[in-house]
Chain A
Amino acid sequence: MFICLWLISIVGYAQKDRGYFQRLNQQYDPVRQEKEVLFSNPAFMSGYSIYSFSDFDAGYGQHKKKTYLLQEGNQSKGIQVKGSSFKRLKNNSVLWGEVVYQDKQHKGVQWNSSLDLDYIGPYVLADSTKGTNKYESYAFMGGVAKQVSNWRFGAEMSYKAQMAHRDRDPRPKATTSDLKLKAGIAYNLYKDIEIGTFAELTSYKQSTDVKFFNQTGRASLYQMTGLGEYSFYFSNKTQDAHYNYNGIHTGVSIVSHEDIDFGLVGYFTHGKLDKQVSSQYDINRLENKQWSIDAFKGFTIGRHRLLAHVVFSFFKREGTDILYTNIDTNLDKLMERKAYKKSIDYSEFSVMYQWEGQRDFVSFKPFYIYQKEQESMLLLDRNQSFTYGVIGGMGEYRRMLSSKSVLTLSTSVQHRAIIQANNQLNTDLMKPSIGQWLESDYLLKSSNCISSNLSVRYDHQLASKLGLYTLVEYQQEKYSEFPVNQYMGVRLGITF
């Protein structure tokens, strides 16, 4: 289905006859990107753009980190091929789709044989060996939306498959599948004020199996349960972990696209994860809940546009340990108890300014983020918390060099200041290697950090509706008192 949508859009692209410079401004409209949250409801995709456009690019990137979280590794490099398309049809309908392929290597990964920490954390299958993960992923997404009178309807489906493995002992092989189905509806209340709601169902599975070729010098495998704790019984006895996540993401919104130019969007996400080992023992459960409110208000005066945006979000994750006993019987379930808790409070305030001239386009967004993370093991005197204040800005300048060539400079810089950091882990009581891992991560998480990004993109029009572009990107990340991390990437793509 995704590929069909993709082909339809390629074959039948319908770029309206605009200047090349204006077309790029519309295709990569920063204000619309700032309102991206609105389009989580697929029904609103029918108002995503009045134009159709497509983008296809292939790129290579290399990230070298001297300061890093051990579970993420210290180097990654690889290619990405991506195609995306948005297509307006004649009967107030739109189609959109995206395909992404990635082939990467992550070096220096430690304490993590699994994928998608966001889904399964902290219940990873881990070992102390540093290794190189070879990673591949395929992602497909397609959607359709239609406007009928005062109503909008939309649906979207996406699927992502990932695979990662190592060629040296210990040799984990992790595979994931992530299927999302989403449907939304919106109704025009008055003038251009619309309300909408949507629901997205997620079904996610991950299987990780670890093999050893060398049976004499095997590294220990830990079924981690949070903040350095692990299942004492199942660690070392099991070499696999299977995760099953089901979730719902739903939201309501009220929006005025142009008359008042405002939007208020509320979201709620609820998901449950089960972890099983040896194909028969459920050992952990995880329950995620997230509430978010996004609000934005825009102002347009001539060629000047201003968009104020606030986000408030609260995320809560609770983990349950399932305890077993082997007294008197075979290994049987004894009890369940809540053992792990994590929460994230997130607030973001930003104002975006945008100006579009005949040959120049400028956007600038200062922002401030306040984030508080707390993580604790409930039955142990063990917790960590961090409060950050992030101030920064991002800007973009696009210049029409000639009727067929355009240059875009993008830059961003942000400073993450640590407001409060608390580390109550008692690492002295842990295995030394696990204690060192947590201490290393803590140093990073409790450090101030300045990160910046600079990219230069050159677009050249090859035919009336076909453009070629190349983009070079450089990022750096500097944690106080630690060496600098660097990323370099290059992309070559076409727009049509």
Chain B
Amino acid sequence: MKKRVLAIIVAVMSLTMTTISCSSDDTAIENDQQSQVSNLRLEFNTNKITGFKSFEKLTVVLVELNTGKEILADLSEDSTKAIVAAKGSYRVTIDGIAILESGDKVGIASNSEVKLINAEDKLTLSLIAKAFANDFIIEEVFFTGVVSKEGKGYNSGKYFKITNNTDKTLSTGGLLILRSAFNSAIKQNNYTPEIREEAMPVGGVLYIPHEIGKEVEPGDFIVVADMGLDHSAQVSTAFDLSGSDYEYPNMDNPRLGQVDSPGVPNALVIYSEMNFNMFFLHNRGFESYAIARFPEGVTVESWLKDYKYDYSFEFAANGRVVDRTHYKVPNQWILDGVNSSVQAAWEHNPIGTSVDSGYTGVGTEDGDPARFGKSIRRKQLGVMENGKPLYKDTNNSTEDFIQWGTEASLKNGIVH
């Protein structure tokens, strides 16, 4: 009988336990949610902004590494205001306008990273004045290539469209076209020395010698193509670039099968990290591009001699430290630059914030098959006095370019 009583007690207790366990724990979860939020306060170091007085505009973008969630905060009114964000690992980008003691205004930018793990966190950011130049801008970069009607990829016919966005005539002589050394979709750790706020690490440089320079009227553009020929003769979906102003065919690597168009002057590849001195654009655009000019006294030879960039980094995956050598171009020499990536893969910007505090790209997904035939292209603000397009240029490509890519402007050939 004792056994029976014991068995009944065990049964009743078990059923009771299962019933009690049903009680809600929503309150615990709500409390837990509260503890997942952090108040971030930013402090700004304005030592590099000579005569800084106050902020006219101060925009902060926080992007969380794990979720990709973006928080946009406007601190124009009160730069000490706390930003409420879910805890996590964030990239922080600053974009704004500062008012100087003289009454002048200057574009400002900065970027950094921060781990938000406490209820209250702080971050100090060094602000940099944006470098605006009264010179050419990059209107468009076509790096994706096209797909034939049969579905085969055609990886040539890529181009830079460089536009005179000023009200004066400019010469292309001495113009440099820079391709970044860093991949925007692969971020390693501890780049040492980290120079991006002073100079752009480059993996390839094109140079238009003064001898073949040409005058470009306000609002007009030049096209610098890999091959200045009618690519539609090869693949019907490709573009007619026979009217290009410059080209940079590679004749050193016979496997590329590139041809040098006799009527199109060649831009010189003065540096390339690639074999056979190739200057080749990533077809998903995981790199950044810029245009620059050497200052007086700097020649191609002296730049190659004096502007090596020896650095090291740790592989993010395993911590192994490796040394690398590239070249660098000081940000002060850069006329315009654009960071490119795709949202799903973007990890960092190869160009510093003073040149471009945002990034653009073609497609939102890595390997997006719809990217072919599309380019990164600047937004048009209006027209100049001569009726030519006037393009937006705030040194923030997220704002200045059409997101995320649009149909290439030279689809139907080059028409000035």
Contacts and interface: CB of A to CB of B under 8 A. Distances in A.
Contacts of B86: 379
Interface of B: 3-4, 7-8, 10-11, 14-15, 17-19, 21-22, 29, 32-33, 36, 64-69, 86-89, 113-115, 117, 153, 187, 189-190, 283, 314-319, 344-345, 364-369
Contacts of A323: 65-66, 87-89
B19 to A, nearest CB: 7
A267 B318 contact: no
B29 A232 contact: no
B66 A330 contact: no
Contacts of A231: 66-67
B65 A233 contact: yes
24 contacts: A187-B7, A195-B10, A220-B368, A232-B66, A232-B68, A232-B344, A235-B344, A253-B11, A266-B14, A268-B17, A289-B21, A293-B15, A293-B19, A323-B88, A326-B89, A326-B189, A326-B316, A327-B89, A330-B318, A337-B87, A338-B32, A341-B29, A431-B364, A431-B365
Contact of A329 (B14, B88, B189, B344): B189
A338 B29 contact: yes
B367 A327 contact: no
Contacts of B314: 330
Interface in A174-224: 187, 189-190, 195, 197, 216-220
Closest 10 CB pairs of A and B: A232-B68, A325-B89, A218-B367, A220-B365, A252-B14, A327-B113, A236-B366, A266-B15, A217-B369, A323-B66
B111 to A, nearest CB: 12
B193 to A, nearest CB: 16
Interface of A: 187, 189-190, 195, 197, 216-220, 229, 231-233, 235-237, 252-254, 264, 266-268, 289, 291, 293, 314, 321, 323-331, 334-335, 337-338, 341, 378-379, 431
A378 B27 CA distance: 12
A291 B21 contact: yes
A405 B315 CA distance: 74
Contacts of A187: 3-4, 7
Nearest to B3: A187
B413 to A, nearest CB: 26
Contact of A331 (B14, B190, B316, B345): B316
Contacts of B318: 330
Nearest to A189: B4
B365 to A, nearest CB: 4
A326 B187 contact: yes
Contact of B22 (A218, A252, A291): A291
B343 to A, nearest CB: 9
B66 to A, nearest CB: 5
Q: Is chain A's interface secondary structure helix, strand, loop, or mixed overall?
A: strand
B7 A218 contact: no
Contacts of A233: 65-66
Contact of A254 (B11, B67, B153, B189): B11
A326 B113 CA distance: 9
Contact of A324 (B4, B22, B65, B365): B65
A334 B283 contact: no
Given A197-B14, A218-B366, A431-B364, A325 B65 contact: yes
Given A219-B367, A266-B14, A291-B19, A334 B117 contact: yes
Given A216-B153, A217-B367, A330 B344 contact: no
A229 B86 CA distance: 15
A313 B86 CA distance: 34
Q: Which among B3, B86, B89, B283 has the greatest number of chain A C-beta atoms within 10 A? A: B89
Contact of A189 (B7, B66, B114, B187): B7
A278 to B, nearest CB: 8
Contacts of B29: 338, 341, 378
Contact of B11 (A220, A237, A252, A267): A252
A267 B17 CA distance: 10
B65 A291 contact: no
Contacts of A328: 189-190
A161 B114 CA distance: 45
Given A253-B11, A291-B19, A379-B86, 19 more contacts: A189-B8, A195-B8, A216-B153, A218-B367, A220-B365, A229-B67, A231-B67, A232-B68, A232-B344, A252-B11, A324-B89, A325-B65, A325-B88, A328-B189, A330-B316, A330-B319, A334-B117, A335-B117, A337-B36
Contact of A379 (B36, B68, B114, B153): B36
A236 B344 CA distance: 7
Contacts of A268: 17-18, 21
Nearest to B346: A232
A314 B17 CA distance: 14
Contact of A220 (B4, B69, B315, B367): B367
A195 B344 CA distance: 57
A327 B115 contact: yes
Q: Which among B14, B86, B319, B368 has the greatest number of chain A C-beta atoms within 10 A? A: B14
Nearest to A431: B364
Contacts of A253: 11
A13 to B, nearest CB: 36
A232 B369 CA distance: 20
Contact of A335 (B11, B87, B187): B87
